[in-house]
Amino acid sequence: MKSLYVTSVERFSGKTATCLALGKRFIADGYHIGYLKPLSLDPWWLSGRLADEDAVFAKEILNLPSEPWDLSTVVVTPQILRSQLQTTEPRDLMADVQAAAEREAAGKDILLLEGGGSLREGYVMGVPSPSVAHTLGSDVLAIVKYRDEVRLLDDALAAHTRLGSRLLGLLINRVSAEAEEFVTQTAIPYLEANGMPVFGVLPEVRALTALTVGELIDLLGAEVLTLEFDPEVLVENVTVGAMNADAALRRFRQQLNKGVITGGDRTDIQLAALETSTRALILTGNLRPSPLVVKQANEFGVPVLLVRSNTIETIEKIEATFGKTRLGQPVKLQQYEQLLNRHMDWGRFYAKLGLHK
């Protein structure tokens, strides 16, 4: 039985999508798989039981017999954290992870383990990713999200340092067209020479990390001022309109499928946004816009969202969730599978893992 731990250096790197896409590929190649998420910092209540949202998706997508709460071993709530810290004999949660891994691996060819949001998580609970991988004897696939040249290399080296001999290799995700040459011609040769195999480089696809208009409405608790709009339209970029109208119009023309955040009293910015590829107008401070703006937005089918929070608070709410591939939209997982299938060196990956295609 093989054990593969899929982790990432930071949150929103594509870890869950990769884990589930790998699971579907393994199944298609004839392998029987199990799944486990040892640690979750995002409690999800289901039928009165604590679970993890990703485990819910895994059960459905990979057709697993176990219940979601059995697939997410340590789900941390404020109460569980305090209990673990304040007791003189804290529970051995690593033992719980071992027992769950043995149960979910029984009769399987491959056990897929999904790491927490980042390699920093789990230490206070005694189940950090490096320790879990070493304890279970798992090979680790680390996903590194491209942000810039230095951070790409530092993140990869940090993963290598923390995981040591358990690191099977890397998958570099969300590489922009501008960064492709550096990644392929400079970064990968350096990483390979320093003992870090790179199994694939995935290009940035903005649609995979976009929010729908409906998700924005729910996230912000927004009042919708327009009548006709499609809640499934994707908002791929978010920008703040805080400059003069001419400067705003120049910037807005450079960004496609965007949401524009501005004050409800900035009629000039709102009209400039409506002249370009805007998917939603987000008006802060509970300031209602001019009827002219609402009328024009209705004609263009652009929703106007009124929120009570100020601009900074609104940006923080969006940034806290923007960038996550939401697997509640099946089309996104299908797109990610296609991306992985095109850009992953499957022969090398399977050979390293000791599997046959």
Residues contacting residue 260 through CB under 8 Å, at least 6 positions apart = 238, 239, 240, 241, 252, 269, 270, 273, 278, 280, 281, 282
**Which amino acid type is present at position 163?**
L
pLDDT at 322: 64
Report the percent of the chain where pLDDT is more than 70. 96
Q: Structure tokens of 113?
A: 């383990």
Place of tokens 């990432």: 8
Task: Find, among 247, 278, 240, the residue nearest to 262 by Cα.
Answer: 240
Q: Structure tokens of 261?
A: 């955040």
Residue 310 Rama label (left phi>0; alpha psi -120 to 50; beta): beta
Exposed/middle/buried for 290, CB within 10 Å: 0-12, 13-18, 19+? middle
- Domains assigned to the chain: 2-206+325-353 (3.40.50.300), 211-319 (3.40.1390.20)
pLDDT at 323: 54
E strand intervals along 135-250: 139-145, 167-175, 198-203, 211-212, 223-224, 234-235, 237-240
Q: How do residues 201-237 score in pLDDT, each as one tens digit? A: 999 887 777 788 988 999 899 999 998 888 888 888 8
What is the overall mean pLDDT for the chain?
90
Residues contacting residue 98 through CB under 8 Å, at least 6 positions apart = 135, 136
Going by the DSSP 8-state scheme, the letter that residue 63 receives in this structure is: T
pLDDT at 222: 92
Report the percent of the chain where pLDDT is more than 90. 65
| pLDDT at 81 > cutoff 90 | yes
Backbone phi, then psi, for 165, in 5-degree steps?
-70, -15
Mean pLDDT (whole number) for 189-202 = 97
| pLDDT at 325 > cutoff 70 | no
Q: What's the CA gap between 12 and 170, in Å, rounded?
A: 16
Tell me which H or E stretch contains 262. Answer: strand 258-263
| pLDDT at 14 > cutoff 90 | no
Q: How do residues 285-299 score in pLDDT, each as one tens digit? A: 899 999 999 999 999
What 3-state DSSP class applies to 250? Answer: helix
Exposed/middle/buried for 63, CB within 10 Å: 0-12, 13-18, 19+? exposed
Q: Structure tokens of 186?
A: 């400079």
Per the CB < 8 A criterion, the answer to whether 239 and 208 are in contact is: no
Strand 43-46 with 49-52, pairing = antiparallel
Per the CB < 8 A criterion, the answer to whether 272 and 252 are in contact is: yes
Task: Find, among 54, 52, 5, 24, the residue nearest to 324 by Cα.
Answer: 54
CA distances from residue 263 to 11, 81, 129, 239 in whole angstroms, order as listed: 30, 39, 43, 13
Per the CB < 8 A criterion, the answer to whether 222 and 241 are in contact is: no
pLDDT at 265: 86
Place of tokens 């697993």: 64
Q: What's the CA gap between 22 and 24, in Å, rounded?
A: 5
Task: Find, among 263, 210, 212, the residue nearest to 237 by Cα.
Answer: 210
